[in-house]
Amino acid sequence: MKEWWRGAIIYQIYPRSFNDANGDGIGDLTGITQKLDYISELGVDGIWISPFFRSPMKDFGYDVSDYCDIDPIFGTLEDFDILLEEAHRRDLKVLIDMVLSHTSDQHSWFQTSSQSKINPYADWYVWADPQPDGGPPNNWLSVFGGGAWAWEPKRCQYYLHNFLREQPDLNFHNPEVQDAVLNACRFWLERGVDGFRLDVCNYYFHDQELRDNPPLERARAHITGNPYNMQRHVYDRTRPENMAFLGRLRTLTDSFGETLLVGEISDDDPVGTMGKYTEGKALLHTAYSFGLLQPKMNAELVRDTVETFYKDAPNGWPSWSFSNHDVIRIATRWGGEEIPAKLSPALNAVLLSLPGTIFLYQGEELGLPESDLPFEDLRDPVGLTLYPDNKGRDGCRTPMPWVKDKKNAAFSDSDPWLPVGDKHFELAVDQQVKSPGSTLMQTQALISFWREHRDLRDRDFRFLPCPEGTIALARHHSDKAIILVANLTGDVQIFSFNFGCTLAREEITQGLSLTDDGEGCLVKCDPYSYGMLETNQFK
């Protein structure tokens, strides 16, 4: 079976903020269809669309009330079918976001389950009796702040919610629950999707004994306003029973041909769990974690994270991303308040060169910085709960800027659900397509380059010795190699290699000068510069 996803580059779309076709201020499926030419010209292999199912939108689609229907704000099933057909006509794969660990409290399953202890859905969610003093069953905490248990007076029991109280956790120890969510996946596979991104896929199972999580040593140094980070989450996630269910899901998707399962991993050992979940051919095809989505990023972290994965899981396959809808955009996380103008193309060059499947979040091809929104503009429950220590995820979810001089940057004719970032107008698509040196055009050229060298994307790699704050990454086979050099510092840096090389392509070279004597070469790199070297003398 052809494994199209190895070395693929997939573009993540957050539909609320991508393109609004009906003028209500919220992006929709038809809006995505209208921009498929833009995505196709970018050169990616496919798209991942964040949730568009029916939902009360307490967590903006990650609280599903019906897995097999489209929320009206995004369109209809017919709109999705058109999007799917048009994407496939452009040779774009389509992944959708399955949120299986929990549902909305408005889902019919929970509405029935919460009524009594005796009904057809009574055991479909995680219910537990109170402790003798009336308190919750254990010390588990919610990712979004506070305890992970909510009281339901009709049952005189608590239910588990790892996220919002409006997002009750499904009980995967019940085989009927597993069958139900697999049937939901089957619905979309039969419709023609090419696979799933699995939201928090290591949260499906919980410890049936409901044992307390132990404290995390030195946790207070990492609390960032949220006590969730003060525990070792050994009993409320990443349970061993999860492996068998992932095997069932893999069997289902494999029966539909060239499909893909991408797992999101949030764990105390994220890179190690990525490896365990992707080893062999019976679990996930690939997974990504928050390993490269850390608040503070540097070249050494990138190198250590990638090397650790392949050392610990040589038979696994990773996915890498620098940004998504849950974290501050990479330009701001890496560059700070005053982002160097050339930083974003260099970061994209690094990301696109990594060994694995690559996810590029909408707007990263433009080098968008994080939007700093005032409290009154916040919509994310995380920011509303943890402000000001944590401003939530709205800053990375503001609308795509398409046209600099149009109202709302041509995202919508109406006031959008979040304002367009003040600094984003100058970085609009229509401005960047005019400039070969822009982040957009550089990213497009980089994607084109790696598509031409796909034979190297599924082969060996090696990080080469280089100055602090820089990256030298060889993608090689035998003595042939393409070597990314990237200077992610504000100083001139010199790379020295013991083999001869040439510049691989002029249009994806910024700020490099090469001296080569046939046996070795020196590469002088200006601040925030990068380029690709080619050699047949790799040692």
Residue (of 230, 164, 175) closest to 200 by Cα position: 164
Return d(Cα 400, Cα 10) in angstroms, integer: 17
The neighbour count for residue 28, using CB atoms within 10 Å, is 28
Q: By the 8 A CB rule, do 239 and 205 touch?
A: yes
Query: 381-408 as b/e, with b when 16 or more CB fall inside 10 Å?
Result: bbbebbeeeebbbbbbbbbbbbebeeeb
- DSSP letter string, 467-491: -TTEEEEEEEETTEEEEEEEE-SSS
Residue (of 506, 487, 354, 401) closest to 445 by Cα position: 506
Report the run of H or E that residue 254 belongs to, with start and end.
helix 242-254
The neighbour count for residue 69, using CB atoms within 10 Å, is 15
310: DSSP letter: H
- DSSP letter string, 30-68: HHHHHTHHHHHHHT-SEEEE---EE---TTTTSS-SEEE
Helix (H, G, I), strand (E, B) or coil at 448: helix
Return d(Cα 506, Cα 511) in angstroms, integer: 11
From the candidates 264, 364, 365, 380, give the one annotated as an active-site residue: 264
Q: By the 8 A CB rule, do 267 and 289 touch?
A: yes
Residue (of 439, 442, 445) closest to 424 by Cα position: 439
Return d(Cα 438, Cα 284) in angstroms, integer: 36
| Backbone region of residue 131 per phi and psi (left: phi > 0; alpha: psi in -120 to 50; beta: other values) | beta
Strand partners, 93: 46
From the candidates 59, 169, 199, 394, give the one annotated as an active-site residue: 199
Contacts of 388 (CB under 8 A, 6+ apart): 375
Contacts of 133 (CB under 8 A, 6+ apart): none
Return d(Cα 127, Cα 30) in angstroms, integer: 40
Q: Is 264 marked active-site?
A: yes
Residue (of 533, 461, 467, 464) closest to 500 by Cα position: 533
Task: Supply angle C-alpha 264, 457, 356, rounded to 5.
Answer: 15
Beta pairing, strands 502-503 & 493-497: unpaired
Which residue numbers are catalytic? 199, 264
